[in-house]
Homo-oligomer: A and B are copies of this chain.
Amino acid sequence: MKIVLDGMGGDHGPQVTVLGAVNAVKEYDVNVIITGDKERIEKELSKYDYPKDKIEIIHCDEEITNEDKPVQAIRRKKNSSMVVGINLVKEKKADAVISAGNTGALLAGGLLLLGRIEGIDRPALAPVYPTLKGISVLIDGGANADSKPRNFLEFGIMGSIYATKVLKINKPKVCIANIGIEETKGNDVSKEAYQLFKTAPFNFTGNVEARDIPAGHADVIVCDGFTGNVILKLTEGVAGAILSSLKVEFTRTFFTKIGALILKPGLVNFKKTFDYTEYGGAPFLGVNGALIKAHGSSDAKAIKNAIRQAKLFVENGVLEDILREIKVLGEDNVD
The interface stretch among A154-162, A250-258, A287-295 is A250-258
Asked if A239 contacts B237 (CB within 8 A), the reply is no
State which of A56-64, A71-79, A263-271 sits at the interface with chain B: A263-271
| Interface residue? A246 (CB, 8 A) | yes
Q: Which residues of B contact A332 (CB under 8 A)?
A: none
Q: B residues within 8 A CB of A224?
A: 187
Picked from B234, B240, B269, the residue with its CB within 8 Å of the CB of A234 is: B234
How many residues of chain A get a CB closer than 8 Å to chain B's CBs? 56
**Inside 8 A of A256's CB, which chain B residues have their CB?**
262-263, 266
Stretch from A111-119, A166-174, A212-220, A299-307 at the B interface: A212-220
CB distance from A92 to the nearest CB of B (A): 34
B-binding segment of A11-19, A225-233, A277-285: A225-233
A213 to B266, CA, bound (A): 27
- Asked if A334 is at the interface of the complex by the 8 Å CB criterion, the answer is no
- How far is the CB of A190 from the nearest CB of chain B, in Å? 8
Binding site for B on A (CB under 8 A): 131-132, 142, 145-146, 177, 179, 185-188, 190, 209-215, 224-227, 229-242, 244-246, 249-250, 252, 255-256, 258-263, 266-267, 269-270, 273
Could you show 6 A-B contacts with beta carbons less than 8 Å apart? A142-B179, A145-B179, A145-B188, A179-B230, A187-B224, A249-B269
Give CA–CA (A258, B256) in the complex, Å.
11
Give the distance in Å from the alpha carbon of A225 to the alpha carbon of B180 in the complex. Answer: 12
Complex-state Cα separation, A226 to B180, whole angstroms: 10
Give the CA-CA distance A244 to B258 in the complex, in Å. 22
**Using Cβ atoms and an 8 Å threshold, which residues of chain B touch A132?**
241, 244-245
> Within the complex, which residue of B212, B226, B241 is in contact with A214, where a contact is CB–CB below 8 Å?
B241
Give the complex CA separation of A250 and B213 in angstroms. 23
**Would you call B187 and A210 a contact (CB within 8 A)?**
no
The docked-state distance in angstroms from the alpha carbon of A11 to that of B158 is 41
Of all chain B residues, the one with the shortest Cβ separation from A212 is B237
User: What's the least CB distance linking A289 to chain B, in Å?
Assistant: 25
**B residues within 8 A CB of A209?**
233
| Chain B proximity of A95: nearest CB distance (Å) | 31
Q: Tell me which of A190, A211, A252 has the highest count of chain B C-beta atoms within 10 A of its own C-beta.
A: A211
> Contact between A179 and B266 (Cβ–Cβ < 8 Å)?
no
- Known A210-B230, A226-B227, A259-B259: A266·B250 in contact at CB below 8 Å: yes
Report chain B residues within 8 Å CB of A240. 211, 214-215
CB-defined contacts of A142 to chain B, threshold 8 Å: 179
Bound-state CA distance A61–B46 (Å) is 83
**CA distance in complex: A185, B179 (Å):** 24
With a cutoff of 8 Å between Cβ atoms, the chain B residues found around residue A242 in the complex are 238-239, 242, 270
Please report the C-alpha to C-alpha distance between residue A229 and residue B210 in the assembled complex, in whole angstroms.
Answer: 8
